[in-house]
Amino acid sequence: MALYALVPCAGTGSRAGAGIPKQYVTLAGQAMVWHTLQALAQVPRLRGTLVVLAHDDDAFERHAPEFGGWACRCGGATRAASVANGLDELLARGASAHDWVLVHDAARCLLRPQWVDRLIDACVGHGTGGLLALPVADTLKRSVGGLSAETVARDDKWAAQTPQMFRIGVLRDALARAGDDVTDEASAVERVGGQPLLVPGEFENFKVTTPGDFDLARRLLETR
């Protein structure tokens, strides 16, 4: 049994308003994806890391010159398609369906190696796998036409993060059966009857999405 990381990095980052794919925006002197890959490189139990890029990506090597893993220009139209293509690439590179894969967002650039180790320790003995997640602390509202129509119970609600860790064969089959509309790997596994383990994450492990997120991520990286 081996463990691999897979980083989908084929998005355009349209919501970020940065003018370039957000994974290449500079934060604390380096591209966002550089910070992400540096954290994964410090997890000794990972046998290798595969980055899934867009077919026309000509910037990755310039922004991550020290990357010692694999890069594949096999990104799809959706996150699910990019991950599925990446799983096929891992299998082609010698991984087995029984091995574990940890899928992590390139835009969660504040990742720390110890959080990845926490997930691995929790999931290696769990049949399905799992993900880092945070219990929801805020009061939740259901909106109708921009108005608050209902307060939603938060007791059993968690906000999903990454990495999300599953066996390659299980995740590959789940994605094929779930379709391209799933927004994370756990939702695909859930659709085929799996119940992923929720492993407590950290607030800092947020996904950089909007212009305000860039400012917060930059400050946190500069003060580490």
Question: What residue spans define the domains of the chain?
Answer: 3-132+161-222
Question: Does the pLDDT at position 197 exceed 70?
Answer: yes
The answer, yes or no, to whether residue 18 has pLDDT greater than 80, is no
Question: How many alpha carbons fall within 13 Å on the CB side of residue 191?
Answer: 18
Q: Do the Cβ atoms of 52 and 86 come closer than 8 Å?
A: yes
What was the pLDDT predicted at 105?
97
What average pLDDT does the segment 191-198 reach? 96
Identify the pLDDT of residue 144.
96
- In this prediction, residue 53 carries a pLDDT of 98
pTM beyond 0.85: the answer is: yes
Q: Tell me the H-state helices in the chain.
A: 32-41, 60-63, 79-92, 113-123, 168-178, 185-191, 211-222
pLDDT in tens, 94-136: 999 999 999 999 999 999 999 999 999 999 988 899 999 999 9
Whole-number pLDDT of residue 15: 53
- pLDDT band (50, 70, 90) for residue 175: very high
> What fold is seen in the domain 3-132+161-222?
Spore Coat Polysaccharide Biosynthesis Protein SpsA; Chain A (3.90.550)
Give yes or no for residue 184 having a pLDDT over 60: yes
Q: Three-state SS for 178? A: helix
**What was the pLDDT predicted at 13?**
57
Residues ≥6 apart with Cβ < 8 Å to 224 = none
Side chain identity at 196, as an amino acid letter?
P
pLDDT tens track for 64-94:
999 999 999 999 999 999 999 999 999 999 9
For residue 51, the surrounding DSSP H or E stretch is strand 46-53
Percentage of residues of the chain with pLDDT beyond 90:
91
- State the Cα angle at 24 between 32 and 183, rounded to 5°: 75
Residue 181 has pLDDT above 90, yes or no: no
Residue whose tokens read 């980052």: 13
